[in-house]
């Protein structure tokens, strides 16, 4: 006897570009923008904390609260440019700043992005003459501005707190932007907010760790460090690496990666214990067409491997390299690519297989 299963089959005559057969409105521009947004959020938070708790003699502190924000300004501009590239009605982009739509996360985000520039700039200016003496010699006004900020404790604290607050808002916003789109079941989770925030913190910590390593004088520089950003060695007038600094950043990064892994677990748990539509959406990542890249690139190479490598480095079991730094940055961008692409395939009408 053949058991017959009730099926539902939908046939649509609709054939709209970017919408059918499944939504594919957002391509590389949006994941890249979300990655840069998270990275800048992490740089802001770290910069704010280090500005308040700065011990000026530490090169790590100067990198965190000066070089980090300067790079953050560049990354934010790059991110906003990729967002601009994604728009299909670009000449009207100025409309974002003629209104504030309280129910629209994108409207919140566009205004938050404007707050990032002054906050990061103020953070960078506070110790710029110490971090980049050559620049200060060329532009003496930088010393004046730095002295004016540092002379007032409340200014320093205010700038630090502003960076932390705006950074948290920016990091959460990058996740909430997707999380509020209830029509795409995979994205419809508030956990995406903190997940993208902590992912941003881990990538920012990794980036600062990488900068610190590649700007260390040759005799102290670990393996694989001889690339990228090495020009910063001249810019920052590299000083000897504090032996205690790399472990601090590696420990911080491990903490952020552990929290990120936990949040991914909670996110998937929430999806798998929700409605059939959400379970189907989660299966895109767990067992479906995105499973291989999700498990290998996001979980394996992006989180677990750097976590293990950094733990072994901290216990002096293996040589210190910047391989975990590269893996964390790669994992951060892979997470956003996979969530953006898989989320667009999750749908209320997804046929049951």
Partner 1 sequence: MSRFAMVIDTRRCVGCHDCVVACKTENGVPEGYCRDWITEEVHGAFPTVQLEIRSERCNHCDNPPCVSCCPTGASHVHERGGVVLVTHDKCIGCKACLAACPYDARFIHPDGYADKCTFCIHRVEKGLDPACVSVCPTHCMHFGDIDDPQSEVSLLLHSRPHHVLIPDAGTKPCIFYLT
The residues binding partner 1 (CB under 8 A) are: 4-20, 23, 25-26, 86-90, 92-93, 95-96, 98-99, 101, 103-107, 109-110, 180-184, 275, 344, 347-349
Q: Is 350 helix (H, G, I), strand (E, B) or coil?
A: coil
Q: How near is the Cβ of 267 to partner 1 at its closest, in Å?
A: 18
Neighbours of 282 (CB within 10 A): 24
C-beta closer to partner 1: residue 18 or 74? 18
Q: How near is the Cβ of 281 to partner 1 at its closest, in Å?
A: 13
Long-range contacts of 129-134, Cβ-Cβ distance < 8 Å, separation of 24 or more: 130/56, 130/62, 130/66, 131/62, 131/63, 131/66, 131/67, 131/236, 132/66, 132/235, 132/236, 132/237, 133/237, 134/235, 134/237
Q: What is the DSSP string of 19-84?
A: TSSS-----THHHHHHHHHHHHHHHHHHHHHHHHT--TT-HHHHIIIIIHHHHHHHHHHHHHHHHH
> CA torsion angle for 65, 68, 70, 74 (degrees, to 10)?
-150
Q: How near is the Cβ of 28 to partner 1 at its closest, in Å?
A: 14
C-beta closer to partner 1: residue 98 or 244? 98
Q: How near is the Cβ of 257 to partner 1 at its closest, in Å?
A: 29
C-beta closer to partner 1: residue 176 or 214? 176
Q: Are 335 and 302 in contact (CB under 8 A)?
A: yes
Token pair belonging to 160: 């630090």
C-beta closer to partner 1: residue 102 or 292? 102
C-beta closer to partner 1: residue 55 or 89? 89
Closest alpha carbon to 125 in 108, 148, 104: 148
C-beta closer to partner 1: residue 203 or 271? 271
Q: Are 307 and 254 in contact (CB under 8 A)?
A: yes
C-beta closer to partner 1: residue 6 or 292? 6
Q: What's the rounded Cα separation, in Å, for the pair 224 and 15?
A: 50
Q: How near is the Cβ of 41 to partner 1 at its closest, in Å?
A: 19
Q: How near is the Cβ of 344 to partner 1 at its closest, in Å?
A: 7
Q: How near is the Cβ of 84 to partner 1 at its closest, in Å?
A: 10
C-beta closer to partner 1: residue 26 or 28? 26
Q: How near is the Cβ of 178 to partner 1 at its closest, in Å?
A: 8
Token pair belonging to 62: 């100067």
User: Residue 183 burial by CB count (10 A; 0-12/13-18/19+): exposed, middle or buried?
Assistant: exposed
């Amino acid at each position: 006897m053949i058991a017959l299963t009730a099926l539902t089959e939908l046939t649509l005559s609709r054939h709209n570009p970017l919408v059918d057969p499944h939504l594919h409105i957002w391509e590389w521009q949006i994941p890249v923008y979300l990655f840069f947004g998270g990275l800048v959020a992490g740089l802001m938070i770290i910069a704010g904390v280090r500005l308040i708790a700065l011990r000026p003699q530490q090169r790590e502190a100067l990198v965190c609260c000066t070089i980090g924000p300067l790079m953050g300004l560049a990354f934010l501009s790059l991110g906003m440019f990729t967002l601009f590239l994604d728009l299909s009605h670009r000449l009207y982009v100025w409309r974002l700043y003629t209104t504030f739509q309280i129910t629209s996360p994108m409207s919140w985000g566009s205004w938050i992005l404007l707050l990032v520039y002054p906050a990061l700039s103020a953070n960078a200016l506070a110790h710029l003459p110490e971090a980049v003496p050559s620049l200060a010699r060329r532009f003496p006004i930088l010393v004046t501005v730095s002295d004016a900020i540092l002379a007032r404790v409340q200014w320093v604290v205010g700038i630090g707190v502003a960076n932390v607050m705006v950074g948290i808002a920016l990091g959460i916003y990058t996740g909430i932007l997707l999380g509020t789109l209830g029509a795409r079941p995979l994205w419809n989770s508030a956990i995406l907010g903190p997940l993208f925030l902590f992912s941003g913190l881990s990538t920012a910590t990794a980036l600062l760790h990488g900068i610190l390593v590649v700007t260390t004088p040759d005799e102290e520089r670990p393996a694989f460090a001889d690339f990228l950003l090495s020009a910063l060695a001249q810019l920052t007038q590299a000083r000897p690496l504090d032996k205690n600094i790399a472990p601090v950043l590696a420990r911080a990064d491990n903490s952020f990666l552990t929290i990120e892994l936990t949040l991914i677990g909670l996110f998937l748990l929430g999806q798998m214990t929700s409605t059939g539509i959400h379970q189907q959406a989660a299966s895109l990542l767990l067992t479906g067409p995105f499973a291989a890249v999700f498990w290998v690139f996001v979980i394996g190479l992006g989180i677990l491997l750097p976590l293990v490598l950094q733990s072994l480095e901290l216990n002096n079991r293996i040589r210190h390299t910047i391989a975990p730094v590269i893996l964390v940055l790669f994992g951060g961008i892979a997470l956003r690519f996979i969530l953006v692409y898989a989320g667009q395939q999750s749908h209320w009408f997804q046929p049951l297989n």
